[in-house]
Chains A and B, each alone.
Chain A
Amino acid sequence: MISTILLLGTVLSTVTGRIGNIAGTVRRQVLLPIGRVLDRLFAPLDRVLDPGARAYNRFLGPYFGEMTGLQFGVIAVSFVALLSAGVWAPIVGPLLGGGLLRTLALASIWAIFAMSWDIQSGYTGYISFGHSALSGAAGYATALLIVHVDPTLSIWVTGSVSVLAALAVGLLIALPTLQLEGPYFSLITFVAVLLFYRLTTSFSSLGGVPGFGQPDVFTWDPVMRYYYMVIPMLLIALGLTFMARSDLGMILIAIRENEAAVSAAGINPTKFKLWSFMLSSVPMGIGGVLLVGFTGNVDPSTFVMVDNSIEMIAIAVIGGMSSILGPLGGAFLFEILNHQILHGYSTPVRYLFLWLIVLLVLVFARDGLFRAIWHRLGAVRGDSE
Chain B
Amino acid sequence: MLGDIATLVLQGTMISAVYALIAIGFTMIFGVGGTLNLAHGALIMSGAYVFGVLAQSTHPVVAFLLTIGVVALFSWGLYQILVRWVEENVVITFLSTVIVAVAVTKVILIQFGGSPLGMTLVSGAVNLEPYGINARPRNVQFLGFVISWVAIGLLWYYITKTDDGRSILAASMSERGAQLTGVDLQSVRSKTWLIAGALAGVAGIILGSTSGATPNMWLNPLALAFMIVVIGGIGSIKGSVVAAYVIGFLEQFTVTFVGHGFRGILSLVVLVIFLLFMPQGLYGREFAHD
B87 to chain A, nearest CB (A): 11
Question: Which residues does chain B contribute within 8 Å of A362, judged by CB atoms?
Answer: 86, 92, 95-96, 99
Q: At the interface with chain B, which of A47-55, A330-338, A344-352, A372-380?
A: A344-352
B221 to chain A, nearest CB (A): 11
Nearest to A350 among chain B residues (CB) is B106
Q: At the interface with chain A, which of B53-61, B116-124, B134-142, B269-277?
A: B269-277
Name A348's contact: one of B76, B96, B106, B223 (CB within 8 Å): B106
Q: At the interface with chain B, which of A148-156, A234-242, A246-254, A310-318?
A: A310-318
Q: At the interface with chain A, which of B15-23, B171-179, B258-266?
A: B258-266
Q: How far is the CA of A306 from the CA of B216 in the complex (A)?
A: 10
Task: Check if B82 is an interface residue, CB within 8 A of chain A.
Answer: yes
Instruction: Given A5-B76, A191-B226, A198-B261, check contact A355 B276 (CB 8 Å).
Output: no
Task: Check if B94 is an interface residue, CB within 8 A of chain A.
Answer: yes
Question: Which residues does chain A contribute within 8 Å of B95, judged by CB atoms?
Answer: 127, 313, 317, 362
Taking a contact as CB atoms under 8 Å apart, the answer to whether B94 and A127 are in contact is: yes
Q: How far is the CA of A187 from the CA of B73 in the complex (A)?
A: 26
Taking a contact as CB atoms under 8 Å apart, the answer to whether B260 and A359 are in contact is: no
Question: Which residues does chain B contribute within 8 Å of A310, judged by CB atoms?
Answer: 98-99, 102
Cβ < 8 Å to A, chain B residues 219-236: 219-220, 222-223, 226-227, 230
Task: Check if B202 is an interface residue, CB within 8 A of chain A.
Answer: no
Taking a contact as CB atoms under 8 Å apart, the answer to whether A195 and B94 are in contact is: no
Q: How far is the CA of A307 from the CA of B275 in the complex (A)?
A: 25
| Residue among B36, B102, B222, B263 with most chain A CB within 10 A | B102
Question: Which residues does chain A contribute within 8 Å of B99, judged by CB atoms?
Answer: 310, 314, 355, 358-359, 362
Cβ < 8 Å to A, chain B residues 75-102: 76, 80-82, 85-86, 89-92, 94-96, 98-100, 102
Nearest to B34 among chain A residues (CB) is A183
Task: Check if B279 is an interface residue, CB within 8 A of chain A.
Answer: yes
Taking a contact as CB atoms under 8 Å apart, the answer to whether A188 and B271 are in contact is: yes
Task: Check if B110 is an interface residue, CB within 8 A of chain A.
Answer: yes
Task: Check if A232 is an interface residue, CB within 8 A of chain B.
Answer: no
Nearest to A194 among chain B residues (CB) is B223
The count of chain A contact residues (Cβ–Cβ below 8 Å) is: 47
Taking a contact as CB atoms under 8 Å apart, the answer to whether B109 and A348 are in contact is: yes
Task: Check if B125 is an interface residue, CB within 8 A of chain A.
Answer: no
B114 to chain A, nearest CB (A): 9
Question: Which residues does chain A contribute within 8 Å of B226, judged by CB atoms?
Answer: 187, 190-191
Taking a contact as CB atoms under 8 Å apart, the answer to whether A352 and B110 are in contact is: yes
Question: Which residues does chain A contribute within 8 Å of B96, judged by CB atoms?
Answer: 359, 362-363
Cβ < 8 Å to A, chain B residues 32-73: 36, 38, 69, 73
Q: How far is the CA of A351 from the CA of B264 in the complex (A)?
A: 29
Taking a contact as CB atoms under 8 Å apart, the answer to whether A198 and B76 are in contact is: no
Question: Which residues does chain B contribute within 8 Å of A186, judged by CB atoms?
Answer: 36, 94
Q: How far is the CA of A102 from the CA of B208 in the complex (A)?
A: 40
Q: How far is the CA of A362 from the CA of B38 in the complex (A)?
A: 15
| Residue among A9, A127, A187 with most chain B CB within 10 A | A187
Task: Check if B146 is an interface residue, CB within 8 A of chain A.
Answer: no
Nearest to B227 among chain A residues (CB) is A191
Task: Check if A180 is an interface residue, CB within 8 A of chain B.
Answer: yes
Task: Check if A177 is an interface residue, CB within 8 A of chain B.
Answer: yes
Taking a contact as CB atoms under 8 Å apart, the answer to whether B92 and A195 are in contact is: no
Question: Which residues does chain B contribute within 8 Å of A180, judged by CB atoms?
Answer: 275, 279
Task: Check if A245 is an interface residue, CB within 8 A of chain B.
Answer: no
Question: Which residues does chain A contribute within 8 Å of B109, judged by CB atoms?
Answer: 348
Name A191's contact: one of B103, B260, B264 (CB within 8 Å): B264
Task: Check if B278 is an interface residue, CB within 8 A of chain A.
Answer: no
Task: Check if A261 is an interface residue, CB within 8 A of chain B.
Answer: no
Task: Check if B5 is an interface residue, CB within 8 A of chain A.
Answer: no
Q: How far is the CA of A271 from the CA of B135 in the complex (A)?
A: 50
Instruction: Given A351-B102, A355-B103, check contact A198 B264 (CB 8 Å).
Output: yes
Question: Which residues does chain B contribute within 8 Å of A5, judged by CB atoms?
Answer: 73, 76, 194
B22 to chain A, nearest CB (A): 14
Task: Check if B268 is an interface residue, CB within 8 A of chain A.
Answer: yes
Q: How far is the CA of A376 from the CA of B73 in the complex (A)?
A: 41
Taking a contact as CB atoms under 8 Å apart, the answer to whether A9 and B190 are in contact is: yes
B13 to chain A, nearest CB (A): 24
Name A363's contact: one of B69, B82, B190, B194 (CB within 8 Å): B82
Question: Which residues does chain A contribute within 8 Å of B103, judged by CB atoms?
Answer: 352, 355-356, 359
Q: How far is the CA of A203 from the CA of B261 in the complex (A)?
A: 7
- Hey, what's the 0/1 contact readout for B192-227 against A, CB within 8 Å counting as 1? 001000000000000000000000000110110011
Q: How far is the CA of A346 from the CA of B91 in the complex (A)?
A: 31
Question: Which residues does chain B contribute within 8 Å of A181, judged by CB atoms?
Answer: 279
Name B91's contact: one of A12, A127, A352 (CB within 8 Å): A127
Task: Check if B143 is an interface residue, CB within 8 A of chain A.
Answer: no
Cβ < 8 Å to B, chain A residues 184-203: 184, 186-188, 190-192, 194-195, 198-199, 202-203
Nearest to A126 among chain B residues (CB) is B91
Q: How far is the CA of A181 from the CA of B219 in the complex (A)?
A: 22
Task: Check if A129 is an interface residue, CB within 8 A of chain B.
Answer: yes
Name A366's contact: one of B90, B92, B275 (CB within 8 Å): B92
Nearest to B272 among chain A residues (CB) is A176
Task: Check if B150 is an interface residue, CB within 8 A of chain A.
Answer: no
Task: Check if A179 is an interface residue, CB within 8 A of chain B.
Answer: yes
A307 to chain B, nearest CB (A): 6
List 25 A-B residue pairs with CB atoms under 8 Å apart, sorted by A's residue number.
A1-B69, A5-B76, A127-B94, A127-B95, A176-B275, A180-B275, A183-B36, A183-B90, A190-B38, A191-B226, A192-B268, A306-B219, A310-B99, A314-B99, A346-B110, A348-B106, A348-B109, A352-B103, A356-B103, A359-B82, A359-B96, A359-B99, A363-B86, A363-B96, A366-B89
The 4 tightest CB contacts between A and B, nearest first, are: A202-B261, A352-B106, A348-B109, A355-B103
